[in-house]
Amino acid sequence: MEIKATFKIYILQFKLPGGTSRGILHTKETYFLKITKNRKVGIGECAVFKGLSADDRPDYEEKLQWLCDHIDLDKAFLLNELIEFPSIQFGLEQALLSFKSKDNFELFPSDFTKGNDSITINGLIWMGDRSFMQEQIKEKLKAGFTTIKLKIGAIDFKTELELLKSIRNEFSANEIELRVDANGAFQPKEALEKLKQLSDFQLHSIEQPIKAGQWDEMAKLCDTTPLDIALDEELIGIFKRSDKEKMLQRIKSQYIILKPSLIGGFHGTDEWIELANKYGIGWWITSALESNIGLNAIAQYTYIQRNKLPQGLGTGGLFTNNSISPLTVKNGELFYDVKDKNGWDISILNI
């Protein structure tokens, strides 16, 4: 029997609306890729992010169907043909690893998947009014997080500064590490002054202070900033290794943020890591609102990279209609909780 592939769309529903500088998120569209041969199954998530992914294009499903029609071809050839569709590359890599796995879900065997170790992660604070953000902060601190990431840039900047000040009045930088993510919300002319004000609160870093694509402006910021800058959206849509290297050489940021579903899966992430290490640029890995299928793959991959910084992998609990998985968060750590017999149940996905 020859190998076959199919795909289906799935709409993830947020438990609470997620606020970013790009707007309020109520749902997240994603696709599942399924490959089969002789009763053997492999499952991957093509986690396209509408309005953000480079492959958010009208021909997305057409390309997915092309992949299904040619699934028997060489993996390297397929990945190269899909270079402008990073989320499909991500799904294909997962599906092939899942197909080879004994249980479909242990893609990168390690102490993490055996339940013997964990990954330190940050607690994510969504944008909203002051009381909503304060409540989220209290919940994350109560849950044992020592690194908190706040989305900023959508509400009044003065209010955001007051929120940060209220945290610092209670917790020092040694007790709670603070990261902020502007999602490109600042204007280049005002960005440096805002970074100076933010630096008063001993923040770890700020993600993407200005919109992506302004390499010269971002390079000036990274050269003069009092606060470490991490590039995020800046990486999206750069497909060639030579262009990745050119961007890193030009901007010289302190960090880059790696989201496998947005930058070409694990192969694309490997390339960014190699270049970042070459130029002495720090990095960490973040999920991008995938279901537990995609989050599982990213978490397992992240663990084997042995990066000691807190990672951004706490998004699995955001949805009402996610699959059941062994991924659990305890005291700011992500576990693959096989010891408590928390197994997989993907029946809700109807793949």
Instruction: Please identify every residue annotated as catalytic.
Output: 151, 259
Give ∠ CA 8-13-14 in degrees, rounded to 5: 145
* Separation of alpha carbons 4 and 69, rounded Å: 8
Helix ranges, the chain (H):
60-69, 75-81, 86-100, 130-142, 157-170, 188-199, 215-224, 241-251, 265-278, 292-305
- Closest residue by Cα to residue 184 from 150, 206, 208, 156: 208
Phi, psi of 276 (to 5 degrees): -60, -45
Nearest C-alpha neighbor of 22 from the set 202, 232, 189, 199: 232
DSSP-derived 3-state class of residue 279: coil
What secondary structure, in 3-state letters, does 185-243 show? EECHHHHHHHHHHHHCCCCCEEECCECCCCHHHHHHHHHHCCCCEEECHHHCCCCCHHH
Amino acid at 123: G
Query: CA angle, 22 as apex, 21 and 25 as ends, to 5°?
Result: 105
Q: Under a CB-based contact definition with an 8 Å cutoff, are residues 299 and 316 in contact? A: no
